[in-house]
């Protein structure tokens, strides 16, 4: 099944850029589709990896023997040989060669003091599949169970593929790159952290469950963030009129990975776990829209000490969004948005739900079916 991706990359030979994204998000496939005549360096191949690791200057020598006018040089998994970026920098400055630099983690590159091209390269990020990309092929229940990664979404049975994905992540992304000393401890952390997906993070509590220190837990979350397996959602703390929660939330980048780590089994419509998966998906759609359309959205959440909460605040109260995975949205589901409007001047207030039709309450809250939300998001008609 061919799925056109919403991430728009530059024309061949016009720009140098990094393309980051989690493992198996489809980065290599996208680059091969976009640059069918590209000159390719695949660092997943053992011989190429070894050759460039030993003598990174070979890149400059090999390119000197080619006519690359109007072509894109693609370096896949660039983080595996960070020293190549010095050669890339020189070729960009002196030969005007343009590169597509692809990888799943900038951590090794950045922490090794490698050359990130001093602002000369654009940055793109590829997320898992979005509703707009799937179009008529969208099956929300399948998406919330299998996850957003193309191979998993299309699989008849995603569970064994997700198990292999997690094992490969631990072996190739974490162990091989030397990101942690205690791999069993990090694996235990993954299991515990997945149980708190889309929830406020308590470092001390997770540390106790994993038998490690709070600073270690913070560093483990940093690894998840740097390897693009998840991202933070900060608390909204501006102009509080009453006591608000300030700790951040953490969202895994793929709900299928969360399902396997947390041993959820099949996520059933109407269950609490389905609601958590639905909230993860709404965040995923917002983050992908931000990345692909240059929307420059700032996202946060708002929660009072009493427990009243709004899932997503967009651009300093330009909009507030609640994710409710039910067909019938009740007054109880709206109390967070209503309390928020008493404490702050809010633009649009939205509920993303599984309701059959859109409706608007008397006090101006728009209740949108999920398919209407993603369509209006893609059209730029929400914020």
pLDDT tens-place values along the chain, 383 residues long:
689 999 999 999 999 999 999 999 999 999 999 999 999 999 999 999 999 999 999 999 999 999 888 899 999 999 889 899 999 999 999 999 999 999 987 666 665 545 567 677 899 999 999 999 999 999 999 999 999 999 999 999 999 999 999 999 998 888 876 778 889 999 999 999 999 999 999 999 999 999 999 999 999 999 999 899 999 999 998 877 778 889 999 999 999 999 999 999 999 999 999 999 999 999 999 999 999 998 789 999 999 999 999 999 999 999 999 999 999 999 999 999 999 999 999 999 999 999 999 999 999 999 999 999 999 999 988 88
Q: Hey, what domains does the chain have and what are their CATH numbers? A: 17-125 (3.40.50.300), 131-378 (no CATH)
* Chain centroid, CA 375 distance in Å: 20
Q: How far apart are the first and last CA of the chain?
A: 32
Note the pTM of the prediction, 2 decimals.
0.94
Could you give the CA distance from residue 191 to residue 195 in angstroms, rounded to a whole number? 7
- Cα 207 to Cα 91, 148, 197, 202, 220, distances in angstroms: 46, 29, 16, 9, 11
Could you give the CA distance from residue 222 to residue 203 in angstroms, rounded to a whole number? 12
**Residue among 199, 213, 179 nearest 248 (CA):** 199
Neighbours of 99 (CB within 10 A): 28
Enumerate the H helices of the chain as residue ranges: 27-34, 46-54, 58-64, 84-95, 107-111, 131-134, 140-146, 150-154, 159-168, 183-195, 203-210, 214-226, 255-261, 272-293, 335-343, 370-378
Identify the bridge partners of residue 300 per DSSP, sorted by sequence position. Answer: 313
For the packed helices 203-210 and 214-226, what is the interaxial angle rounded to 10 degrees?
A: 100
Number of H helices and E strands in the chain, helices first, is: 16, 14
| Per-residue model confidence (pLDDT) at position 350 | 98
Backbone torsions φ then ψ of 312, nearest 5 degrees: -140, 130
The dihedral over CA atoms of 53, 57, 60, 63, expressed in degrees to the nearest 10, equals -50
| Per-residue model confidence (pLDDT) at position 284 | 98
């Amino acid at each position: 099944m061919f799925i056109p991706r919403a991430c728009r990359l530059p024309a061949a030979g016009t720009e140098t850029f990094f393309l980051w994204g989690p493992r198996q998000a489809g980065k290599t496939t996208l680059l091969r589709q976009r640059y069918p005549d590209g000159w390719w360096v695949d660092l997943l191949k053992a011989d190429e990896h070894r050759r460039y690791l030993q003598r990174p200057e070979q890149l400059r020598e090999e390119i000197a023997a080619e006519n690359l006018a109007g072509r894109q040089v693609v370096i896949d998994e660039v983080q595996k040989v960070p020293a190549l970026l010095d050669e890339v920098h020189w070729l960009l400055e002196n030969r005007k060669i343009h590169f597509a630099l692809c990888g799943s983690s900038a951590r090794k590159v950045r922490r090794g003091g490698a050359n990130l091209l001093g602002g000369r390269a654009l940055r793109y990020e590829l997320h898992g599949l979005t509703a707009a990309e799937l179009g008529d092929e969208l099956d929300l229940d399948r998406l919330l169970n299998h996850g957003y990664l193309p191979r998993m979404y299309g699989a008849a049975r995603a569970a064994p593929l997700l198990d292999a994905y997690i094992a490969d992540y631990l072996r190739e992304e974490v162990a091989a790159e030397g990101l942690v000393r205690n791999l069993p401890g990090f694996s235990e952390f993954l299991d515990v952290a997945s149980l708190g997906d889309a929830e406020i993070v308590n470092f001390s509590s997770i540390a106790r469950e994993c038998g490690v220190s709070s600073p270690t837990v913070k560093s483990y979350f940093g690894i998840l963030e740097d390897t693009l397996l998840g991202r933070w959602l900060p608390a909204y703390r501006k102009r509080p009129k009453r006591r608000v929660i300030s700790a951040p939330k953490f969202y895994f980048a793929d709900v299928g990975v969360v399902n396997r780590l947390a041993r959820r089994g099949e996520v059933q419509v109407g269950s609490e776990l389905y609601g958590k998966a639905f909230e993860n998906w709404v965040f995923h759609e917002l983050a992908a829209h931000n990345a692909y359309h240059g929307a420059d959205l700032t996202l946060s959440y708002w929660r009072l000490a009493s427990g009243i909460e709004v899932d997503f605040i967009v651009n300093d109260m330009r909009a507030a969004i609640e994710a409710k995975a039910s067909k019938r949205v009740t007054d109880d589901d709206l109390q967070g948005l209503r309390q928020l409007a008493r404490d702050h001047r809010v633009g649009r207030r939205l509920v993303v739900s599984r309701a059959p039709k859109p409706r608007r309450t008397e006090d101006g809250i728009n209740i949108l079916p999920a398919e209407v939300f993603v369509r209006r998001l893609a059209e730029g008609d929400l914020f």
